[in-house]
Structure 1
Amino acid sequence: MTVQANPISEQLFSRAKVVTPGGVNSPVRAFGSVGGHPHFIAQANGAYLTNADGKRLLDYIGSWGPMILGHNHPRVHQAIAEALQGGTSFGAPNEREVLLAEKVVELTRSSGVERVRFVNSGTEATMSALRLARGFTGRKYIVKFRGNYHGHADGLLVEAGSGLMTTAAGQLGSAAPSSAGVPEEYAALTLVSEYNDPAALDTLMQGRGHEIAAVIFEPVVGNAGVLVPSADFLAALHRVKDQGTLLVADEVMTGFRLSLQGACGRLGIQPDLICWGKIIGGGLPVGAYGGRAEVMDFVSPSGPVYQAGTLSGNPLAMAAGLATLSELQDQPELYGRLETYTTALADGLKDAAQAAGVPVSVNQIGSMLTVFFQDAPHGSVTTYQQAAHSDTQAFARWFQAMLAQGIYWAPSQFESIFVSAAHGDAELQTTLQAARQAFSEL
């Protein structure tokens, strides 16, 4: 596997490792599963990044999802600049947080959202939503699905997917921590079921439904690679509400990515609570959770469930999110264009792999896509167990071959890539040409 030299990035990485654990501030950035050194990015515009060595890269990460309009979009840039003139943080309410909350409620009302509370990250959103679910129901157990990642709160680092897929353990209904530092006693409050297995969820709920405060799930999984839910599984999810359990949709990745109403709107899901991040901050740190008023009014100061944050509703993040959602509303054809591009990308990747004799399965929905290096049954990976059987070494070699040609793909077999409005026909052709070369090298 040939890794191209980027001396400035390599120097920065060496310096970073002296002062930062592993040299990065989020583990997947370290390129641990694909080899080589991470690229340190100097700037980003449209569909492209420029690294510290001046190399231009066609970006399919999009800051892991939020850059749906492309990097440094003029409307978002202007909104942040205007907000900056008034200061960076107040520790008090501001108009922009009202405007963005109104916008989120407007767009997601069809999924039952009436109230929204802003936080600063997706982890904060899911952690807060589950505390709320416990407070509202008076129950202590939650259910999550193997391979679904909901942030790094202690109770959610159980069978958590993505970079943790090689270390997760446990059996159905058990909860082995995926990380050191998580007490087994706390992890035991998290029960585990199988994504896209309605019978397993029904069985778990029949036995313990009266104890379960919430079932949390990714409507479309992104952190075990892209996994799309079956209709039977979605029906089983809705059945958990029959036992007084709250259904919590983690749309940190999919919210406003798969449609203007999110994955819940696209797939017809009616959760009790929804968690968001990424796109609603336009690339700035943000998170939120929301749902029907009856549940959300249990949050302080209206109710007894405490949650607070000094920088929550930050005016810069609110401005960026409001500009992003407004731009998406103003371009009703955008989601169709994103899907058309990503479908063509998926088809081209499958053709290129087949021509080279490389077994792959490509999962795609909307502007999210994963190339699984395996020949999955029926051509599609549907479960965590199937995803885990992918050839990670083949993926690593392919990743490096793509990167050598200037294509910045997600540096993990178990992640989604994201297409933006800035990707056009030229980018599609460049990507497929690189992919044909990369597959041929395998």
Structure 2
Amino acid sequence: MSTKNEQLFLQAKKHIPGGVNSPVRAFAGVGGTPVFIHKASGSKIYDTEDNAYIDYVGSWGPMILGHAHPKVIEAVKQAADDGLSFGAPTPFETTIADKICEIVPSVELVRMTNSGTEATMSAIRLARGYTGRDKIVKFEGCYHGHSDSLLVKAGSGMLDIGEPTSKGVPADFAKHTITLPYNNPDAIKECFAKWGNEIACVIVEPIAGNMNMVIPTQEFHDTLRQQCSEHGAVLIFDEVMTGFRVGLGGAQAHFGIEPDLTCFGKIIGAGLPVGAFGGKREIMQCIAPTGGVYQAGTLSGNPLAMRAGIAMFEDLTVDGFYDELASKVDYLIDGIQAAADKHGIHLRSNKLGGMMGFFFVKDGDTATPQNFDEVSDCDIDAFNTFFHGMLERGIYLAPSAYEAAFMSSKHSQADLDATIKAADAVFAQMAQ
């Protein structure tokens, strides 16, 4: 790793806790020094010494059109010329809201926020206000941002009240959060049998992207929908990662499930800071100013993000866009899997649309992990070796074995072939 990155990291630590503004960037999970980026274009990011990396992080998902897409950049430049923020309504907010409601049938009304964390936090407050109940259900291994109610893990028993996973979260908050194993329909039924009339909502990543990528069964989602409907609980799909990513209609279109509320993330602003939550009119009308559930944000729906999003959606809605994205993912995953098999590396993978995940399973494990415990049981050291080997060869993956990877429309055949070739070389070393 270059001494330039080490110098920059040292400098950053002087006035930024841990030298980073979001923990995963610190490379704590994989070891070594983070790469400091100063620009990006298309499928590539460039460090401060102008070394190029083929990027499969894509700012954690939103760069579906590649970095610095000319049309999006032009839209942002024009928006900036007109002023950065007004704290007043603009017609661009309406255009994005109309577009989201047109694409996602379960969303009848939508409210903009500034981040995915704000979206999930607000959706939960709304569900509590709408139902008049306090308890919420989440799943082990799903991440919904860093609000207090959600930084909770399961208690000692499977059906137990949660415990905080972060200091600073009062145990009183945690006692309202029930954490269940992901992808387990029976646990959902047991939970509702015990607490059904106290549960305000269930929040779930319909495809997990924060324990690497785990695609649950159809039965899991059918059970969730059925139990929430039966007991009057609000079903919240956190599509911050999957929305407009695994397909135009998101994971809910893939599974044919209609959630009551959906949360979206920075992809709707083409990578600028933005989030949103929306859903059934009856529920969304409980939000201020039409209802008693308070939620606000000076920069919500800011014109830069809205105009960037409008430009991006023009490309996303072109016929065949997602088919092409998925075929690139298929080619890449198939190529990397073949290389792993050739060298006797125990690799498993998941993929859907423009999203993918790799698991280095332990010797003897044949199945792809289905939940957080199985992901945690993977060979993290093997992933870390793979990560650094790929980084040295100019391939940038998420610096954690617990994160998914993302494809953009700008990844070329040459990029994919170079990535497979790099993986083959790393696997050859790992097999020695």
Q: Structure 2 length as normaliser, TM-score?
A: 0.97
Does residue 68 (structure 1) correspond to residue 61 (structure 2)? The answer is no
Q: Secondary structure at the match of 1:209?
A: helix
Distance (Å, rounded) in 2 between the aligned partners of 1:145 and 1:241: 19
| Residues 1:104 and 1:52: Cα distance change in structure 2 (over 3 Å) | same
Residue of structure 1 in register with 2:377 after alignment: 389
Residue of structure 2 in register with 1:420 after alignment: 408
Maintained 8 Å contact 2:247/2:354: no
Distance (Å, rounded) in 2 between the aligned partners of 1:170 and 1:433: 45
Maintained 8 Å contact 1:94/1:315: yes
Distance (Å, rounded) in 2 between the aligned partners of 1:390 and 1:52: 33
Does residue 323 (structure 1) correspond to residue 319 (structure 2)? The answer is no
Does residue 147 (structure 1) correspond to residue 135 (structure 2)? The answer is no
Distance (Å, rounded) in 2 between the aligned partners of 1:267 and 1:320: 29
Instruction: Tell me by how many angstroms 1:288 deviates.
Output: 0.3
Does residue 185 (structure 1) correspond to residue 172 (structure 2)? The answer is yes
Distance (Å, rounded) in 2 between the aligned partners of 1:366 and 1:100: 22
Q: Secondary structure at the match of 2:104?
A: helix
Maintained 8 Å contact 1:7/1:53: no
Distance (Å, rounded) in 2 between the aligned partners of 1:320 and 1:7: 36
Maintained 8 Å contact 2:325/2:407: yes
Does residue 35 (structure 1) correspond to residue 21 (structure 2)? The answer is no
Residue of structure 1 in register with 2:253 after alignment: 265
Does residue 89 (structure 1) correspond to residue 85 (structure 2)? The answer is yes
Instruction: Tell me by how many angstroms 1:8 deviates.
Output: 2.0
| Residues 1:170 and 1:77: Cα distance change in structure 2 (over 3 Å) | farther
Letter in 2 for 1:209: G
Maintained 8 Å contact 2:196/2:231: yes
Instruction: Tell me by how many angstroms 1:172 deviates.
Output: 2.1
Instruction: Tell me by how many angstroms 1:378 deviates.
Output: 5.0
Instruction: Tell me by how many angstroms 1:170 deviates.
Output: 4.4
Maintained 8 Å contact 1:363/1:381: no
Range with bigger deviation, 148-157 or 6-15: 6-15
CA-to-aligned-CA distance 1:43-85 (integer Å, 9 cap, x gap): 0000000001211111000000000000001111111111111
Q: Secondary structure at the match of 1:301?
A: coil
Paired residues, what number? 427
Distance (Å, rounded) in 2 between the aligned partners of 1:416 and 1:434: 19
User: Which contiguous aligned blocks of 4+ residues in structure 1 show a shift greater than 4 angstroms?
Assistant: 375-378
Residue of structure 1 in register with 2:52 after alignment: 56
Maintained 8 Å contact 1:338/1:366: yes
Letter in 2 for 1:9: N
Range with bigger deviation, 202-211 or 171-180: 171-180
Distance (Å, rounded) in 1 between the aligned partners of 2:394 and 2:100: 36
Identity rate of aligned residues, in percent?
47
Instruction: Tell me by how many angstroms 1:12 deviates.
Output: 1.1
Q: Secondary structure at the match of 1:236?
A: helix
Q: How does 1:87-236 map to 2 (within 5 A)?
A: 87-109=83-105, 112-159=106-153, 170-173=156-159, 174-236=161-223
Q: Secondary structure at the match of 2:408?
A: coil
Q: Secondary structure at the match of 1:248?
A: strand
Residue of structure 2 in register with 1:165 after alignment: none
Does residue 407 (structure 1) correspond to residue 395 (structure 2)? The answer is yes
Q: How does 1:225-304 map to 2 (within 5 A)?
A: 225-239=212-226, 240-304=228-292
Distance (Å, rounded) in 2 between the aligned partners of 1:79 and 1:23: 32
Range with bigger deviation, 350-359 or 55-64: 350-359
CA-to-aligned-CA distance 1:176-223 (integer Å, 9 cap, x gap): 111111111101110011111000111101110100000000010000
Maintained 8 Å contact 2:110/2:278: yes
Q: Secondary structure at the match of 2:164?
A: coil
323, 326, 345: which one aligns with 1:339: 326
CA-to-aligned-CA distance 1:209-255 (integer Å, 9 cap, x gap): 10000000001000001010101101111112211000000000111
Q: Secondary structure at the match of 1:379?
A: coil
Distance (Å, rounded) in 2 between the aligned partners of 1:12 and 1:374: 35
Structure 1 segments unaligned to the other structure (5+ residues):
160-167
Letter in 2 for 1:214: C
Q: Secondary structure at the match of 1:437?
A: helix
Range with bigger deviation, 307-316 or 371-380: 371-380
Letter in 1 for 2:368: S
Distance (Å, rounded) in 2 between the aligned partners of 1:205 and 1:169: 17
Distance (Å, rounded) in 1 between the aligned partners of 2:156 and 2:343: 38
Instruction: Tell me by how many angstroms 1:171 deviates.
Output: 3.6
Q: Secondary structure at the match of 1:364?
A: strand
Distance (Å, rounded) in 2 between the aligned partners of 1:291 and 1:200: 26
Residue of structure 2 in register with 1:162 after alignment: none
RMSD: 1.2
Range with bigger deviation, 197-206 or 360-369: 360-369
